[in-house]
Amino acid sequence: MENNSLKHLAIIMDGNGRYAKNMGKPRFVGHQLGMENVENITLACDELGIKVLTLYAFSTENWARPKEEVAFLMNLPVKFFNKFMPTLMKNNVRVKIMGFLDQLPEKTYQVVQDAMEQTRNNTGLVLNFAFNYGSRKEIVAATQAIAQKVADHELQVSDIDEELLSRNMLTGDLGDLSDPDLLIRTSGEERLSNFLLWQLAYTEFAFTDKLWPEFTKEDLTKIVQDFQKRHRRFGGLDK
């Protein structure tokens, strides 16, 4: 029946701390295993023909965690690219990091900028990390940018429309792929946690009890097949 195409998939990678706790290990072990699973799932998405994978890795609210944990998380991009950059290049993956990058520690900032630079000419899957990201802050920043243009007489109030708002979000450079078709959240939680509030207007949601480090390619494939059979209306009516 239905045959939805999945171009943009977004994932909230939840359950890493709980996974570690279940194994009687400290939280950072869960984060480390979670990081390793990012590579598996990225390659699986590529095989499934997905064009953009957006991963929610660190929110602007996560700074409230214990400072040792924050320091560990801020070092994960360093580890990630040290370990996986050759595979990303081999698979023609383009890396993007979407968030408030000016607030990152210097080393982390450099590493994520380098990764974007090194993969800039790759033409395959876009691996888009939401990193130090918060959706309400994103909407505030977009509003400020637009208001500034109006104040400077570069725009008129009547020029403000959905298209303009979309282009001023941090996903704006993804063009017609800026809105995810499907959002997956692992670990049984069913909430958005300040993720892509504007972009998820017509997105399909899928929740799984699997914790992120144990979420496999097979779990993903099952959810994607299920998505392809769904009936999407985008707010319209059936003909």
CB–CB of 93/42 below 8 Å?
Answer: yes
CB–CB of 97/116 below 8 Å?
Answer: yes
37 as an active site residue: the answer is: no
Between vectors from CA 178 to CA 173 and to CA 181, what angle results, nearest 5°? Answer: 160
Q: CB of residue 5 vs ligand V07: minimum separation in angstroms? A: 26
| CB nearer to ligand V07: pick between 39 and 167 | 39
Contact set for ligand V07, span 32-71 (CB under 6 A): 34-35, 38, 57-58
Which residues lie closer than 8 Å to 29 by C-beta, 6 or more apart? 20, 23
14 as an active site residue: the answer is: yes
Residue whose entry in the numeric block shows the structure tokens 């994978």: 53
| CB nearer to ligand V07: pick between 8 and 31 | 31
170 lines the binding site for ligand V07 (CB under 6 A): no
Which residues lie closer than 8 Å to 236 by C-beta, 6 or more apart? none
CB–CB of 50/124 below 8 Å?
Answer: no
For ligand V07 (CB under 6 A), the number of binding residues is 18
125 lines the binding site for ligand V07 (CB under 6 A): no
Q: CB of residue 78 vs ligand V07: minimum separation in angstroms? A: 9
Residue among 4, 62, 91, 122 flagged as catalytic = 62
Q: According to the 3-state scheme, what is the secondary structure of 130-192?
A: EEEECHHHHHHHHHHHHHHHHHCCCCCHHHCCHHHHHHHCCCHHHHHHCCCCEEEECCCCCCC
Contact set for ligand V07, span 69-98 (CB under 6 A): 73, 76-77, 80, 97
Q: What six digits make up the tokens of 43? A: 């390659």
Quick note: the x/- pattern for ligand V07 over 127-166, rule CB under 6 A, is --x-x-----------------------------------
| CB nearer to ligand V07: pick between 32 and 228 | 32
| CB nearer to ligand V07: pick between 34 and 180 | 34
| CB nearer to ligand V07: pick between 114 and 172 | 114
- φ/ψ of residue 43, rounded to 5: -65, -35
Q: What residues are labeled active site?
A: 14, 62
For ligand V07, the binding residues (CB under 6 A) are 13, 16, 31, 34-35, 38, 57-58, 73, 76-77, 80, 97, 112, 115, 129, 131, 212
